[in-house]
C-alpha cells in the first residue's frame, strides 16, 4: 500500500503503480519467507542447546508471547497498531524526526505488549487503544532517529532508516564500538588464504560456519535427543541439513531485501514529497545485511556468546535464568555487528554485538514483574526496545496505576517535542 500510494502521488501510469505494488508485496513475502526458514532452522538448534547443557528458564521469543496473548488481546492489539500508524505519520509531519515505521510485523508484537500492560493497569479497551497507539506511534518515530547516524555510516546514504524493535540495542552497540573499536580494520577485509578462498562466497561461508555450530551442539545433545526432530535421519546428517536450511533462509531473505529496495525506495519519494516532506522509510534490519556479510556472522556469534555470559551471570546471582534466544541473537546480533563494524571495524563488530547480546538477555527479566503473572512467564519479549517501552509503561503502572501511565505518556511527548525543537535549531544553525 505504501508503494502504491507513493507511485500514485508521483502520478505514475497505472501499469507502473501495479508493478511497483506487486513487486514490493512479493519482496516482503520473500523476506519474511526467508526469515521463516531461518527461524525453523534455529528452533531445533536452541532446543538441542538447552538439552545438551541442561539449562531451563525463560525463553525470549517475541512471536511465542504474541501468539499466546492474541487470543485475549487480539482486537486491542490490532487497533493500537492502527492508531500508531496515524500518530507516526502526524509526528513525522510536524516534527524534526521524519521517519515512517514500515516494519509492521514487529509493530504487532509491540502493540500486543502494550495491550497487555494497559489491560493489567486497569484501562478499558478504548482508552488503552488511544494511549497504547500514541505510545507506539511516538516510539516508532523516535527510535529510528537514534541510530540513523550509524545507518548512514553503513549505507553511505541517508535514504533509508532502520525500523526494528532492537533499535535501542543497536544504539548501544554503535556507541560501544565507536568508543573501543578500530575502524581501520573492517570485517570485510579479512584475509582468506587461497586454499579456502571459496569461503569468500557468503552462502558457503554461512553454511560452513553454521554446520560446525550445529554438529557440535548435535553431538553434545546426543543422537537420542536429536531423533525427536530428525524424523529418522542420522543426527549428524540432520545437523548438516539444518545448517544448509539456515543458509538458504539467509539467501532467500537477501533476495527479498533487493526486491524491496528496488521498488519501495523510488515509490516512497511520492510520500516524502507530498505527505511528509523529507520522510525516510524505516525498514526491517535485513536491509543492512548485504553491506557487511562477514559482520553478520561475526555479530551473530558475538551476540550469542554475550547471551551465554549473561546466562552464567544469572546462575551466579540466582536470578531468573534467560536461555539465549537464537533467533534474537542472529537478527539483532547480526545488525549490531554490521553497525559496530561501520564505526569500529572488526573489534567494534565483536565488542558491539557482544554488548548488545548481554543487554538483550536482561530484557525478559525487566519485564517479568509486569508480564510474568499473566501465566506467560516461560516466554517473554527479546529485543531491546521491548525493555525500554515495556519498562516505561509497565513500571509507571505498577508505581502509580493508570495515572502514572498517563503522566509517563505526557512526559515522553514533552521530551519528544523538546528534542525535536533542539534538533531543528541545530539543523538551521548548520545551514
What local confidence, expressed as pLDDT, does residue 64 receive?
67
Between 14-53 and 202-221, two packed helices, what is the crossing angle to 10 degrees?
Answer: 30
Is residue 85 within 8 A of residue 276, CB to CB? The reply is: no
Residue 368, classified by CB atoms within 10 Å of its CB into exposed (0-12), middle (13-18) or buried (19+), is middle
Q: How far is CA 383 from CA 97, 212, 324, 328, 402, in A?
A: 22, 27, 12, 7, 25
Is residue 219 within 8 A of residue 251, CB to CB? The reply is: no
By residue count, the chain amounts to 431
Is residue 142 within 8 A of residue 97, CB to CB? The reply is: yes
Strand-pairing partners, residue 60, are: 380
Contacts with 65 (C-beta within 8 Å, 6 or more apart), sequence order: 109, 112, 113, 371, 376, 379, 380, 381
What local confidence, expressed as pLDDT, does residue 84 receive?
92
Q: How far apart are CA 405 and CA 411, in angstroms?
A: 10
- For the chain, 431 residues long, the average pLDDT of each consecutive 10-residue run is 83 90 86 81 81 73 72 87 91 94 85 92 94 97 96 92 95 96 89 61 77 89 91 93 89 80 75 82 91 91 93 87 82 95 96 96 85 57 91 93 96 97 89 69
What local confidence, expressed as pLDDT, does residue 375 receive?
46
Residue carrying C-alpha cell 536429536: 226
Is residue 345 within 8 A of residue 187, CB to CB? The reply is: yes
Is residue 286 within 8 A of residue 254, CB to CB? The reply is: yes
What local confidence, expressed as pLDDT, does residue 219 receive?
93
What local confidence, expressed as pLDDT, does residue 73 receive?
86
Q: How far is CA 419 from CA 11, 304, 407, 414, in A?
A: 36, 34, 18, 9
Amino acid at each position: 500500500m505504501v508503494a502504491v500510494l507513493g507511485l500514485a502521488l508521483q502520478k505514475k501510469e497505472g501499469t507502473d503503480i501495479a508493478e511497483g505494488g506487486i513487486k514490493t508485496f512479493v519482496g516482503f513475502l520473500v523476506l519474511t519467507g526467508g526469515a521463516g526458514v531461518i527461524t525453523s532452522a534455529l528452533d531445533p538448534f536452541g532446543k538441542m542447546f538447552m538439552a545438551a547443557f541442561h539449562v531451563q528458564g525463560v525463553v525470549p521469543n517475541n512471536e511465542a508471547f504474541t501468539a499466546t496473548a492474541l487470543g485475549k488481546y487480539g482486537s486491542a492489539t490490532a487497533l493500537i497498531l492502527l492508531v500508531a500508524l496515524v500518530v507516526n505519520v502526524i509526528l513525522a509531519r510536524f516534527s524534526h524526526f521524519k521517519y515512517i515505521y514500515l516494519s509492521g510485523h514487529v509493530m504487532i508484537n509491540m502493540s500486543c505488549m502494550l495491550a497487555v500492560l494497559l489491560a493489567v493497569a486497569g484501562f478499558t479497551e478504548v482508552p488503552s487503544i488511544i494511549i497504547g497507539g500514541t505510545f507506539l506511534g511516538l516510539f516508532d518515530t523516535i527510535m529510528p532517529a537514534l541510530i540513523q547516524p550509524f545507518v548512514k555510516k553503513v549505507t553511505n546514504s541517508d535514504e533509508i532508516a532502520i525500523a526494528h524493535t532492537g533499535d535501542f540495542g543497536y544504539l548501544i552497540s554503535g556507541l560501544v564500538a565507536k568508543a573501543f573499536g578500530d575502524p581501520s580494520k573492517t570485517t570485510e577485509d579479512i584475509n582468506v588464504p587461497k586454499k579456502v578462498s571459496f569461503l569468500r562466497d557468503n552462502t558457503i561461508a554461512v553454511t560452513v560456519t553454521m554446520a560446525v555450530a550445529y554438529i557440535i551442539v548435535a553431538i553434545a545433545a546426543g543422537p537420542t535427543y536429536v531423533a525427536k526432530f530428525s524424523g529418522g535421519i542420522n543426527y549428524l546428517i540432520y545437523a548438516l541439513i539444518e545448517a544448509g536450511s539456515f543458509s538458504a533462509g539467509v539467501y532467500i531473505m537477501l533476495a527479498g531485501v533487493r526486491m524491496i529496495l528496488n521498488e519501495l525506495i523510488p515509490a516512497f519519494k511520492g510520500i516524502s514529497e507530498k505527505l511528509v516532506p523529507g520522510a525516510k522509510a524505516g525498514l526491517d534490519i535485513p536491509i543492512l545485511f548485504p553491506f557487511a556479510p562477514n559482520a553478520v556472522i561475526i555479530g551473530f556469534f558475538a551476540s550469542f556468546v554475550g547471551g551465554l555470559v549473561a546466562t552464567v551471570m544469572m546462575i551466579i546471582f540466582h536470578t531468573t535464568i534467560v536461555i539465549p534466544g537464537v533467533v534474537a541473537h542472529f537478527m539483532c546480533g547480526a545488525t549490531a555487528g554490521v553497525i559496530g563494524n561501520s564505526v569500529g571495524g572488526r573489534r567494534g563488530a565483536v565488542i558491539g554485538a557482544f554488548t548488545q547480546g548481554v543487554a538483550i538477555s536482561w530484557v525478559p527479566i525487566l519485564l517479568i514483574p509486569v508480564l510474568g503473572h499473566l501465566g506467560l512467564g516461560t516466554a517473554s519479549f527479546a529485543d531491546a526496545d521491548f525493555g525500554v517501552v515495556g519498562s516505561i509503561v509497565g513500571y509507571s503502572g505498577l508505581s502509580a496505576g493508570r495515572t502514572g501511565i498517563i503522566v509517563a505518556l505526557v512526559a515522553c511527548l514533552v521530551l519528544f517535542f523538546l528534542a525535536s525543537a533542539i534538533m531543528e535549531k541545530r539543523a538551521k544553525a548548520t545551514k
